């Protein structure tokens, strides 16, 4: 069960200029809609960030190439097959899926970005997608966000989506996003995919900068298991249909708009962690007082990836020695442990590198019993900060990942 | 149950110049010998390597300081309490334990190196050790290796020890080592400790170089969970009592001797992995064709730490996509995936970056069903190689680490 997430989506606001249609292609098995098509109006700008995994999947190669060459008009997403590790046949299948969208909609194949999530190592069954596409096109609707949020799910236990509105010079600007992912990666049946759209007008370079900066503080700041998918992708579309235009970071209302985009990305990224494989707790690792943000991240990720810290969190065990040991091995150059303070929620557990004299096991236990826990680490070296979100490590994580294919 | 390790120690050969005595101090609970004392003859040389964790424990600070200042005559090891994260009181307790050995044996307190393993965050109960020391001194015996191997255990399921002999100019040189550790770290009740002795004479600088080089290819090349203990230590003692002396790496017989020391270290390091927390499989990650050894290690550790790879190994699931994804995210600069080959045992799973055309699930499954598995990754970039040893990730790992304190 997802930590602090409802099984129902919140209301998702339509974004003028964007329509979604879904269809059943029965890629893995029949019985559910597993193809989603996003139609983007002419004149919109689109930004995207992709996995940094060297073994990135065929659709990632094609989406990156198409997105660089022309303005995307359609995003084609399938669940049930990742089309990763599939070599040249996988590339041909991904290209063919774009041509199929072009044939049904009349756009150029280069204006289609393909995305796949599901089993690795099996070439995309493109004929099934071709057969389902007319149904998806017929279903295109500005209210299609809910259906799309469901269609892109794999083993997610709940759909994930959110909307925000900001007012700019008396006009409403809407931002809506959906995502899927139940871990940073599950090469069988996972991948993080996120689609965010706004009706503001934003030039492409500015939009890409906004997405990259937002992703660094959201999708790139969460981890379930430290593994990075071969298929991860996040797309931000700006249709301009609200009549509000931002031409630079100094434009009126841009700061509030950028903050709302960041909040949408953070909500979606955190929703994936809340729905992380086997997760029973939602953990914020908040590192402060570093010399650089990179250094703070390094400490945060070392704690967030420690199987010993994660199993202690699962057990609600205030085993602060494990946190301390993880901080100590994070590889920070010339770390002075005598300057380090660590807090579990509001309870100080480490003071000046040793156990705080006022700390009691009962106080630590009270924090550990909660479903949402913040671990704050003060390095005492500088002014930089970083946050990382993660979940605990439970029997169900092993069960899900050990038994998935059987 | 440890993978491929007998519950009984192999014969451990005495090393002339070294005696072990054990005693019951009831540090954690009564009923077992939990203190071991190694006596080292005058004129011996000693080398040591310690944890790189910034939060290293009080005994590590003291052992490092004493070892740098004078030739050690006694090693004092206790299980049941790590004396880590204990601040100034912990330092005072560790120093007092050395004075206690000095009082009973007549040596200088600075000639005693203290080592602790067990629960973190609790100051060493030094009075219990003082009370038990006369018993340990009375028990000192050249045949005490077996008793010591048992006394230093915490949650290890089997004791770990090995002997090797090499002939040098007609004389036998003996090397015997013992170790404890059931993971690279378990801050509650773990830590890697290893003690190796030889009756060869080796100048201290040469001995330290030999130990450092051997540790890099043994203790520093194993991982259960990527966590590094606050108390890890390995000590190599050379007594010279065999009459064989090595004054430089070019000395007659030195290469064979160094190889035997490496083999002892590798045996002990691998024994810890075979007895790793919840381990059901022993895995060798063999990375070849890198530009540098560091790069090969980086890839090997990324695969060895991947919870997805480790849970697949537990499930005997030939889920090669997880290995491929881990290699892809290892952070190797300008990795050309089209040059990468991956083998599971003798079965090629990836050829030139994609699934090998001759690969069958049945062939992969046959390898995965084995208890000892080698994953070989050929990077196709250069001539460097590196090996890392690890174990799988099972329900019992979560159970051991989630339920340990309850």
The residue from B216, B240, B274 where one domain ends is B274
Whether B69 is covered by a domain: the verdict is yes
Q: Is residue B229 domain-shared with residue B287, that is, in the same domain?
A: no
Q: Which residue shows structure tokens 């849970």?
A: B311
Beta-bridged to residue A385, according to DSSP, are: A288
Mutate to test the interface with A, among B52, B53, B54 (most CBs of A within 10 A): B54
Contact at CB, B325 and A228, closer than 8 angstroms: yes
* Residues B160-218 pLDDT 10s: 999 999 999 899 999 999 998 875 444 344 568 889 999 999 999 999 999 999 988 88
CB environment B92-127: b (16+ within 10 A), e (fewer): ebbbbbbebbbebbebbbbbbbbbbbbbbbbbbbbe
Contact at CB, B319 and A229, closer than 8 angstroms: no
Query: Which of residues B334 and A102 earns the better pLDDT score?
Result: A102
Active site residues of A: 191
Residues of chain B with pLDDT under 50: 184-189, 406
Q: Is residue A295 domain-shared with residue A252, that is, in the same domain?
A: no
Q: Is residue B172 domain-shared with residue B294, that is, in the same domain?
A: no
Query: Which of residues A33 and B1 earns the better pLDDT score?
Result: A33
The residue from A208, A241, A274 where one domain ends is A274
Whether A8 is covered by a domain: the verdict is no
Q: Find the residue in A nearest to B355 (Cα).
A: A85
The answer to whether the beta carbons of residues B331 and B347 sit under 8 Å apart is no
Q: Is residue B204 domain-shared with residue B323, that is, in the same domain?
A: no
Contact at CB, A324 and B399, closer than 8 angstroms: no
What domain range includes position B253? 18-274
Contact at CB, B328 and A56, closer than 8 angstroms: yes
Whether A12 is covered by a domain: the verdict is no
The residue from A252, A274, A296 where one domain ends is A274
Whether B330 is covered by a domain: the verdict is yes
* Residues A292-324 pLDDT 10s: 999 999 999 999 988 889 888 998 988 888 898
Active site residues of B: 191
Which among A378, A350, A344, A391 is positioned nearest to A363, based on CA atoms?
A: A344
Q: Is A278 left (phi over 0), alpha (psi -120 to 50) or beta?
A: left
Q: Is residue A60 domain-shared with residue A134, that is, in the same domain?
A: yes
Query: Which of residues A338 and A146 earns the better pLDDT score?
Result: A146
In total, how many domains does chain A have?
Answer: 2
HSE-CB at B146 with a 13 A cutoff on CA atoms is: 8
Give the number of A-B residue pairs with CB atoms closer than 8 Å. 201
User: Minimal Cα–Cα distance from A83 to chain B, Å?
Assistant: 11
Q: Is residue B223 domain-shared with residue B299, that is, in the same domain?
A: no
* Residues A153-207 pLDDT 10s: 987 888 999 999 999 989 999 999 999 887 544 434 456 888 999 999 999 999 9
How far apart (Å, rounded) are the C-alpha atoms in residues B305 and A341?
A: 28
Long-range contacts of A215-218 (CB under 8 A, 24+ apart): A215/A49, A215/A265, A217/A262, A217/A265, A217/A266, A217/A387, A218/A262, A218/A265, A218/A266, A218/A268, A218/A269, A218/A270
* Residues B118-177 pLDDT 10s: 888 889 999 999 999 999 999 999 999 999 999 999 878 889 999 999 999 899 999 999
CA distances to B228, B303, B348, B350 from A397, rounded to whole Å, are: 23, 18, 29, 27
User: Roughly how many angstroms between the first and final C-alpha of chain B, as a whole number?
Assistant: 22
pLDDT of residue B89: 92
Q: Is residue A265 over pLDDT 70?
A: yes
pLDDT of residue B239: 95
Query: Which of residues B220 and A244 earns the better pLDDT score?
Result: A244
pLDDT of residue A159: 93
Contacting residues of B for A325, CB less than 8 Å apart: 53, 55, 84, 120, 185, 187, 227-230
pLDDT of residue A184: 45
Q: Find the residue in B nearest to A361 (Cα).
A: B121
pLDDT of residue A185: 44
Instruction: Provide the strand spans (E) within A130-277.
Output: 160-168, 171-180, 193-198, 222-223, 233-238
Contacting residues of A for B227, CB less than 8 Å apart: 306-308, 322, 325-326, 329
How far apart (Å, rounded) are the C-alpha atoms in residues B30 and B52?
A: 32
Q: Is residue B270 domain-shared with residue B287, that is, in the same domain?
A: no
Q: Is residue A97 domain-shared with residue A218, that is, in the same domain?
A: yes
Q: For residue B104, what is the domain's CATH number?
A: 3.60.70.12
Q: What is the mean pLDDT of residues A128-152?
A: 97
pLDDT of residue A118: 86
Whether B188 is covered by a domain: the verdict is yes
Q: Is residue B192 domain-shared with residue B224, that is, in the same domain?
A: yes
Query: Which of residues A70 and A132 earns the better pLDDT score?
Result: A132
How far apart (Å, rounded) are the C-alpha atoms in residues A330 and A295?
A: 9
Sequence-separated (6 or more) residues with CB below 8 Å from residue B56: A328, B50, B84, B230, B231
Structure tokens belonging to residue B36:
């071991």
Q: Is residue A145 domain-shared with residue A290, that is, in the same domain?
A: no
Contacting residues of B for A344, CB less than 8 Å apart: none
Q: For residue B398, what is the domain's CATH number?
A: 3.10.20.340
User: Minimal Cα–Cα distance from A383 to chain B, Å?
Assistant: 21
pLDDT of residue A274: 87
Q: Find the residue in A nearest to B118 (Cα).
A: A321
Which among B312, B311, B288 is positioned nearest to B388, based on CA atoms?
A: B288
Q: What is the mean pLDDT of residues A82-87?
A: 87
Q: Is residue A215 domain-shared with residue A240, that is, in the same domain?
A: yes
Q: Give the CA angle between residues B374, B380, B382 to the nearest 5°.
A: 105
User: Minimal Cα–Cα distance from A152 to chain B, Å?
Assistant: 21
Q: Is residue A226 over pLDDT 80?
A: no
Q: Is residue B293 domain-shared with residue B248, that is, in the same domain?
A: no
ipTM of the complex: 0.72
Going A334 to A336 to A337 to A343, the CA torsion angle's sign is: negative
Whether A170 is covered by a domain: the verdict is yes
Q: Give the CA angle between residues A27, A28, A34 to the nearest 5°.
A: 55
Whether A2 is covered by a domain: the verdict is no
Q: Is residue A399 over pLDDT 90?
A: no
pLDDT of residue B396: 81
Whether A190 is covered by a domain: the verdict is yes
């Amino acid at each position: 069960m997802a930590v602090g997430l409802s099984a129902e989506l919140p209301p998702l606001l339509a974004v003028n200029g964007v329509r979604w249609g879904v269809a059943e292609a029965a890629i893995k098995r029949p019985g559910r809609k597993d193809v989603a098509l996003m139609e983007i109006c002419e004149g919109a700008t689109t930004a995207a960030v992709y996995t940094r995994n060297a073994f990135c999947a065929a659709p990632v190669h094609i989406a990156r190439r198409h997105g660089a060459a022309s303005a995307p008009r359609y995003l084609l997403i399938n669940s049930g097959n990742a089309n990763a590790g599939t070599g040249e046949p996988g590339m041909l299948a991904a290209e063919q899926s774009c041509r199929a969208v072009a044939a049904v909609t009349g756009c150029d194949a280069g204006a289609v970005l393909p995305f796949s999530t599901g089993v690795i190592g099996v070439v995309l069954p493109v004929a099934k997608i071709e057969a389902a596409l007319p149904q998806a096109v017929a279903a295109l609707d500005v209210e299609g966000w809910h259906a799309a949020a469901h269609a892109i799910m794999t083993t997610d236990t709940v759909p994930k989506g959110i909307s925000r509105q900001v007012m700019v010079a008396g006009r409403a600007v809407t931002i809506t996003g959906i995502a899927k992912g139940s871990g940073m990666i599950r090469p069988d049946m996972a991948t993080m995919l996120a689609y965010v759209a706004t009706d503001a007008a934003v030039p492409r370079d500015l939009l890409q900068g906004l997405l990259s900066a937002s992703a660094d503080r959201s999708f790139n700041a969460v981890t379930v298991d430290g593994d990075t998918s071969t298929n991860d992708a996040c797309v931000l579309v700006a249709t301009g249909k609200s009549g509000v235009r931002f031409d630079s970071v100094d434009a009126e209302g841009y700061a509030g708009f950028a903050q709302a985009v960041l909040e949408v990305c953070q909500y979606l990224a955190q929703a994936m962690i809340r729905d992380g494989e086997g997760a029973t707790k939602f953990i914020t690792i908040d590192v402060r007082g570093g010399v650089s943000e990179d250094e703070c991240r390094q400490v945060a990720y070392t704690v967030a990836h420690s199987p010993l810290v994660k199993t202690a969190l699962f057990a609600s065990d205030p085993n602060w020695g494990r946190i301390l040991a993880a901080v100590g091995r994070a590889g920070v150059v010339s770390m002075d442990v005598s300057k380090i303070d660590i807090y579990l929620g509001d309870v100080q557990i480490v003071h000046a590198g040793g156990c705080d004299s006022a700390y009691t096991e009962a106080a630590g236990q009270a924090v550990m019993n909660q479903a949402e826990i913040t671990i704050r680490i003060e390095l005492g070296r500088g002014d930089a900060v970083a946050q990382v979100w993660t979940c605990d490590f439970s029997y169900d994580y092993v069960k899900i990942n050990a038994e998935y294919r059987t």
